[in-house]
Amino acid sequence: MSDAGKDDARTGGCQCGGVRYELTGEAAELYACHCLECRKLTASAFSMSLQVRIADFRITGGEPKFWTRPSDKGNTIKCGFCPTCGSRIWHETLGEKEWMTLKPGSLDEPVNYADAIHIWTRRKLPGFEIPEGAEQYPGEPD
Ligand SMILES: [Zn+2]
Ligand SMILES: [Zn+2]
């Protein structure tokens, strides 16, 4: 790749630091997903996903492991995680060549939660308040 991306490279990694990565380029949308799968994966209220280009993402340390699961749309989602601490780091849809979703809580520099588009809000935990003015969808946006 060219040197152009190096200045704006962002770094991140799992909870134990065993898996590290570098991200260049501009990310697309940031989502906060309240679906049941995302609650299970985080064991928490929701999961955040940052759309980034596969070509912009590079593992710089450690060896992630993978597991796959079917998506609602009939695709197969490949999930990358740290084999030591278990942190989920990214998802790819098998066959998709351009975009993947990074779990942005793993970035060293925080993303701005106020930018998140909330999806599957009809599944959100009781009592969870979507920030006022946030773009939101009861299910998956088209
Ligand atoms: Zn780890
Ligand atoms: Zn979800």
Q: Is the pLDDT of residue 72 over 50?
A: yes
Ligand at shortest distance from the CA of 83:
1
Ligand at shortest distance from the CA of 12:
1
Q: pLDDT tens for residues 8-44?
A: 799 999 999 999 999 999 999 999 999 999 999 999 9
Q: Is the pLDDT of residue 2 over 70?
A: no
Query: By the 8 A CB rule, do 79 and 67 touch?
Result: yes
pTM assigned to the model: 0.90
Q: How far is the CA of 3 from the centre of ligand 2 (A)?
A: 35
Query: By the 8 A CB rule, do 34 and 120 touch?
Result: yes
Q: pLDDT tens for residues 96-139?
A: 999 999 999 999 999 999 999 999 999 999 999 999 999 999 99
Q: Is the pLDDT of residue 4 over 60?
A: no
Query: By the 8 A CB rule, do 32 and 71 touch?
Result: no
Instruction: Identify the three-state secondary structure at position 33.
Output: strand
Ligand at shortest distance from the CA of 84:
1
Query: By the 8 A CB rule, do 136 and 121 touch?
Result: yes
Ligand at shortest distance from the CA of 86:
1
Q: How far is the CA of 13 from the centre of ligand 1 (A)?
A: 7
Structural domains of the chain in order of their starting residue, each with its CATH number: 8-123 (2.170.150.70)
Q: How far is the CA of 101 from the centre of ligand 2 (A)?
A: 11
Q: What is the DSSP letter of 94?
A: T
pLDDT of residue 142: 79
Q: How far is the CA of 140 from the centre of ligand 1 (A)?
A: 30
Ligand at shortest distance from the CA of 80:
1
Q: What is the DSSP letter of 115?
A: G
